[in-house]
Amino acid sequence: MKKAYIFPGQGAQFAGMGKELYDHSDETKFLFEQANEVLGFRITDVMFDGTDEELKQTAVTQPAIFLHSVILAKAMGNAFRPDMVAGHSLGEFSALVSAGALGYEDGLRLVAARAKAMQKATEIQPSAMAAILGLDDFTVEDVCQRVSEVVVPANYNCPGQLVISGTIAGVDKACELLLEAGARRALKLNVGGAFHSPLMEAAKVKLQAAIESVQLSEPICPVYQNVDAKAYTDPDAIKHNLIEQLTGPVRWTQTILHMIEDGANSFTEVGPGNVLQGLVKKIDRQAETAAAVL
């Protein structure tokens, strides 16, 4: 019986998030206050009392979800005993900190740097993402390759649900062709830019220097990384994959299938929301899923 712990990415935020966790103990309160200091603003004020709109800002969203996930894992104490971990996009940083590969403060600084770099990249070139429902991966990949503008598969979320990412013209054209190819829906997403696409190259360059400057250790268990859905414990390999992540796709379907092949039979989502539990169930109906509790 192997336990997998999974960590959510951007989109899992909600107003009031983390308040219960802050009040849980002196240790959790200290970690939140430490984060306020590291970030240079009181992110707890936005998390606990901010509006949905304020929480949607990338510079707030990413650290907020990271903090909720990592502090929850720490608050679980001995109950947090993973045989393997994975995180969806931003969640990979939460997974690495929770598995002991990356320090808490270093992880938070990297997430803040990542959010800023991504925001900057979206300002350089307006871009978009869209969710494609009801088509197999191969058809989506094939259509994207036929579009002359930049558009690529960005998130392999579960069978029949793939997110594409690219220039506005590229995404619009791909949506049109994918609907013609039989997609049930092609839904433009309310995001700031083309995450997990070549258009994030400027952000990747900025983030690379930050990632290379931090110390990574061997994690307490294998970490399944987004870029190729494989398990890693070697710090140098983990670093390399983390750098590639911004411009590469999130292979979530493949990640969960690999974890199941390697013996995972229960998946616990650590952080806000329950999106990942839903995706796991769509990938394998037999898989047990749960939310992490204090």
Name the active-site residue from 89, 94, 127, 165.
89
Q: Can you tell me the distance from the alpha carbon of 198 to that of 258, in angstroms, rounded to the nearest whole number?
A: 26
Report the sign of the C-alpha dihedral through residues 8, 241, 97, 232, in that order: positive
Per the CB < 8 A criterion, the answer to whether 55 and 61 are in contact is: yes
Is 94 labeled as catalytic in the residue annotation? no
Within its chain, how far is the Cα of 213 from the centroid?
21
Per the CB < 8 A criterion, the answer to whether 291 and 268 are in contact is: yes
Surface-to-core class of residue 261, CB atoms within 10 Å of its CB (0-12 exposed, 13-18 middle, 19+ buried): exposed
Total count of residues recorded for the chain: 294
Q: Can you tell me the distance from the alpha carbon of 208 to that of 212, in angstroms, rounded to the nearest whole number?
A: 6
Per the CB < 8 A criterion, the answer to whether 141 and 153 are in contact is: yes
Is 258 labeled as catalytic in the residue annotation? no
Give, for 158, the enclosing helix (H) or strand (E).
strand 151-158
Name the active-site residue from 68, 88, 196, 258.
196
Task: Enumerate the active-site residues.
Answer: 89, 196
